[in-house]
Amino acid sequence: MLAGNPNVGKSVIFNYLSGRYADVSNFPGTTLEISNSRWQGHVLTDSPGVNGLNRLNDEERIAEQAVEGADIVINVIDATRLRRDLYLTLQLIASKPTVIVLNMIDEAERDGLKIDVFALSRALGVPVIPAAAVDGRGLAELVNILNSWCRDLPRGVVRELAAKAELRAHASALANNVQSRRRHKGVGLLDLLLTRPLPGLPVMLAVLAAIYWLIGGVVAQQVVELTEGVIMERWLLPPLVRLLSQILPPGLLQSLLVGEFGILTMALSYGIGLLLPLVFSFYLLLALLEDSGYLPRVAVLLDNTFRPLGLNGKGAIPLILGFGCVTMAVIATRMLSSRRERLILTFLLGLAVPCSAQVGVIIMLLIPLGYKWVLAYGAMLVAIFLLAGRILNRVLGGSSPGLFLELPRLRLPRPGNVLRKSYVKSKNFLREALPLFALGAGIVTILNWTGTLSTLQQALMPLTEGWLGLPAESVNAFIMGIIRRDFGAAGLFGLNLAANQTFVALMVMTLFVPCIATVLVTIKEQGLAVALTMWAGSLAVAVFVGGLLALVI
């Protein structure tokens, strides 16, 4: 198995050995899920990046379990951060046969850092291979060692050292003994600017604004209009629907496949025509930010802001994704370090984060009423987001782990890695999401076929008219919002609502149950009981806030 600190290049070596692509990222935590493959008949495992085996978070617990089950450990070390990485190295050597890959040796050399590899290997009692994994340097030597290795390696010296010293102090002393620097490398000016509130926060806001403009403006409107409105709904689906309508007899099966909410007419169009361009574009931009080393700096800048919500700065990344697609953002909460954090952020995403498609419709409805309504809408969502986060932080027991990371160097993104990562993540998203969309379409079709949807509309009318002050027909818009959030908001156009009614309806629509794709993905990520609890919570908040707004305005 491969083990190492975050951002040391484990996944690059995993790809080389296995021939299979794994996530390569400059943001800690993105390899939280263990990747498995085969290497010459043996199981090859890529474990999460961790700073130690101290069971302080989910990554360390998973990595420790992987180490316990391994026969041989390939410990990947960042040559530019030797003092930090050797702490984990000493823990690994004391428990398992270990070979060390001293990666990024080329960057260390450019920084004027010289490492005595022979002295390091002699002190640790294990092989140490200098490598530059992205260029393939040293990897052939690693393969030769793995081919010739046996399990019984001399580890007695290291075991004694581990027993006698405090490990971090020993790691620091060892690093001082085997490395020297020909010239001092100062902190770059750009790095200083990005890691301080000024101008770090304005730069971050500008980056996020550019992302949102590209995704919400260019992709969500122009690209999706082509992929969904033209390619899917004009070219591909109509002939397919006509063909199946002629082949299949009228009835439930035909409705399930090509009906109003059919698997082909809704799930396929929604998943490929609408979501795929958004997903790929987001992953492409995210990969650029990851590969450049900028995302950890965003996490540092926002860490204090997220603390009162029971989160740390890592939560900024799924939140950013949520403004493009909440379903995708729920999947991205995997990068958070604890289940507690994932629970909090998943609920907040479903409650108070409108996706880009929904935002476009909301803005179209609010702008004719005046910008004060737009500002009021944004302010209400922010207030509810913050209040709900603080409440969840108090109600859920325990505390979230602190943000512990060492900033990777800033570098130009590698185009091949960026494109490969975006492709694989998008493919994985479709593989996970399309079956869920199909299931959701089937459920809605059956509800419609049996008349349950009409019954539900009638049952909700008293609540809609009496408490929310909205016409009974708005129930249809809310139900459509469960199927697809922008459809629900668009359903308010023909209701001739007053300004205050429009505002109330849009707030309820945003806080209401997230779309069925998000609900199904939440079930997959958190389990049925937790997902239903979140669903009920969102519904309760939406109805309560909507009723209060109807009374006040």
For the cut 60, the answer to whether the pLDDT of residue 150 exceeds it is no
Count CB neighbours of 88 within 10 A.
Answer: 25
Q: For residue 473, give the amino acid letter.
A: E
How much is the mean pLDDT over the chain?
82
pLDDT for 29 equals 44
40 Rama class: left (phi>0) / alpha (psi -120 to 50) / beta: left
Give the number of other CB atoms < 10 A from CB of residue 188.
11
Neighbours of 260 (CB within 10 A): 12
Cα–Cα nearest to 349, from 363, 338, 334: 334
Q: Indicate whether 545 pLDDT > 90.
A: yes
Which residues, at least 6 apart from 134, have a Cβ–Cβ distance to it below 8 Å?
9, 12, 414
Distance from CA of residue 11 to its chain's centroid? 18
Please report which residue ranges of 154-251 form alpha helices under DSSP H: 156-164, 167-178, 189-194, 197-212, 224, 237-247
Across 181-190, 206-215, 399-408, least confident range: 181-190
Residue range 489-504: mean pLDDT, rounded? 84
Q: Which of 161-165, 185-189, 456-460 has the lowest mean pLDDT?
A: 161-165
If you ran DSSP here, which 8-state letter would residue 313 be given?
A: G
- Is 67 within 8 Å of 50 (Cβ atoms)? no
pTM exceeding 0.75: no
Classify residue 210 by its DSSP letter.
H
Residue with tokens 């990554």: 59
Question: Which pLDDT band, with edges at 50, 70 and 90, does 31 fall under?
Answer: very low
- For 470, counting Cβ atoms within 10 Å of its Cβ (0-12 exposed, 13-18 middle, 19+ buried), the class is buried
- Tens-digit pLDDT profile for residues 349-363: 999 998 766 776 787
Give exposure, 415-432, as e/b (b: 16+ Cβ within 10 Å).
Answer: eebbebbbebbbeebbee
Tell me the pLDDT band of 439, cut-offs 50, 70 and 90: confident
C-alpha span between 450 and 252 (Å, rounded): 10
Q: For 218-264, write each residue's pLDDT tens digit.
A: 887 788 889 988 998 889 889 988 888 889 888 888 888 888 778 88
User: Computed over its alpha carbons, how large is the radius of gyration of the chain?
Assistant: 27
How many CB atoms lie under 10 A from the CB of residue 160?
Answer: 11
Confidence at residue 160, expressed as pLDDT on a 0 to 100 scale: 40
State whether residue 196 is helix, strand or coil.
coil
